[in-house]
Structure 1
């Protein structure tokens, strides 16, 4: 198992799979979820990409320190993973809270990103969603993760798939069973306390951006995705019919088709930009 220590000493676990030397893709999961939430994408990407999947602090095999977390801190953790893995730039794919972390990476570390994918991601905290997250946090702290997981899972999985996917929720996440309540609560607070000024800088993003939405997502409805596209000049929107918040595993084949089509186009654009840049540097020399 591979770990890196972040700037504050927290151990962050990550795993590299796929083809060595291939275009790198960094996968960042959402609230309460581990890197296992990307298993179907990592398997499918193996012939063409090098996948780096991390466990955010507070989830999976990463440390779960007591105290406050922040999404900026988690973005710094992701950069520490890239540094430790020897990767200068990567396509970054994030879901939900992981999408917010991905957007922060695009703003704070533009030189480390080739493209961004923001799946089921919101650009701001609406009051109704804040109230729901507070309820989840308080329920987890008072009664444990298991007490609130079944109710919360209904916001992640579409009604047609709920019975089929619920047994896997403890392994895949989000809201995975067995996570300590204090770590889950710290992640919730990180979402609630995100620096609003970072959202105001989304128009600084220059790399290609895919905004992916499910038309049955009630946790981050399509309107959240449309708002992101309006605010990011380089963004394109893709909506998957019949998909809810957990569409990376509920509708994995469609999700993967859309994602890999975008990553292929973004990688070609990055290669062209790098060729033009290095050619210009050579001419200048």
Structure 2
């Protein structure tokens, strides 16, 4: 008889089951994926971190093995789901590294649950449309075109030279098994993110990473965030596009590890 792999779940406030995954040992580090993606977003680089940290990923509601309710999603709501996972694991706090929409969610964890975040890393993300820099309307139209969207998205993520040497598959192009309604819910949640007014409340030391050639989430957002968050500094990676953490892992991962080593001094997850 074929056995089904065990999947651990946390239960969110509304009863939604959130699947999570754990690897490695050490201080806990939560890795948050982009919009309409599940935990596999991190698979190419997870090994850079789980030799030092206990890495925790999750499948956003609507993706992977998590429940997929057809209801309003939001970045603050996703943040509450992450906290439910920390609660399930008995963790008082953790480092949090969020990229793209995951970076938007990470902002809300640090704002609404400040005692749960030690070191905060925000990658290729923005504070929201009111004061951030958004992708162009031409690009939005291209991504909405079902014939062009896949090709355009790959080009936004990686440089042509890297793609030629690394033909895929690419783990950052979305959860192919998501129901259409969930994809729509994710898109609205990300587009409606707006944390500008509350960013100064973030008390965690913060590292902001961005690819210099990112036009999916324009690189100007890195400076906006670093100026708005009190203990933040930005690092822009030359030549990188949206998936800087994958293609330029040799640059990005050491920056994160160096930052977390300092942020984790005196760390006790039971504090």
Please say whether Structure 1 and Structure 2 have the same fold, judged by a TM-score greater than 0.5.
Answer: yes
TM-score by length of 2: 0.88
CA distance in structure 1 between the partners assigned to 2:91 and 2:47 by the alignment? 20
Report the CA distance between 1:183 and its aligned residue: 1.3
Alpha-carbon deviation of 1:164?
A: 4.5
In 1, Cα distance between equivalents of 2:48 and 2:163? 24
Please list every run of 5 or more consecutive structure 2 residues that lacks an aligned counterpart in the other structure. Answer: 1-6
Give the gaps of 5 or more residues in structure 1: 279-285
Check whether the contact 1:136–1:152 (CA below 8 A) recurs between aligned residues.
no
Say if 1:187 and 1:134 are closer, same or farther in 2 by CA, change over 3 A. farther
Task: Find out whether 1:23 has 2:23 as its counterpart.
Answer: no
Which has the higher relative contact order, 1 or 2, with Cα contacts under 8 A spaced 6 or more apart? 2
Residues 116 and 207 in structure 1, CA contact (< 8 A), matched pair in contact too: yes
Alignment match, 2:172: 173
Residue of structure 1 equivalent to 2:115: 111
Equivalent of residue 63 in structure 1, options 67, 91, 114? 67
Aligned to 2:239: 242
Question: 1:63, 1:121 → 2: CA distance?
Answer: 25
Distance 1:85 1:46 in 2: 17
Q: Distance in 2 between matches of 1:11 and 1:166?
A: 34
Alignment check: 8 A CA contact 1:153 1:175 kept: no
Determine the C-alpha separation between the residues in 1 that align with 2:17 and 2:148. 28
When you count helix as a share of all residues, which structure comes out higher? 1
Task: Indicate whether 1:72 and 2:73 are aligned.
Answer: no
Q: 2:4 — aligned with what?
A: none
Distance 1:178 1:149 in 2: 15
Question: 1:145-198 CA distances to partner (integer Å, 9 max, x unpaired)?
Answer: x873222222222232234556312xx12324333222111100001222x3x3
Of residues 55-64 and 96-105 in structure 1, the stretch that sits farther from structure 2 once superposed is 55-64
Who is 2:44 aligned against? Answer: 40
Partner of residue 135, structure 2: 129
Separation in 2, partners of 1:7, 1:165: 41
Aligned to 1:187: 186
SS in 1 for 2:158: coil
1:1-285 equivalence runs, <5 A: 1-19=7-25, 22-125=26-129, 129=135, 131=137, 135=141, 139=145, 148-165=149-166, 167-169=168-170, 172-194=171-193, 196=194, 198-268=195-265, 270-271=266-267
Per-residue deviation, 1:129? 2.9
- Residue in 2 that maps onto 1:281: none
Cα distance in 2 between the residues matched to 1:227 and 1:190: 21
Q: Is the 8 A contact 2:143 2:152 kept in 1?
A: no
Task: Report the number of matched residues.
Answer: 261
Q: Is the 8 A contact 1:137 1:184 kept in 2?
A: no
Q: Aligned-pair distance for 1:34?
A: 1.4
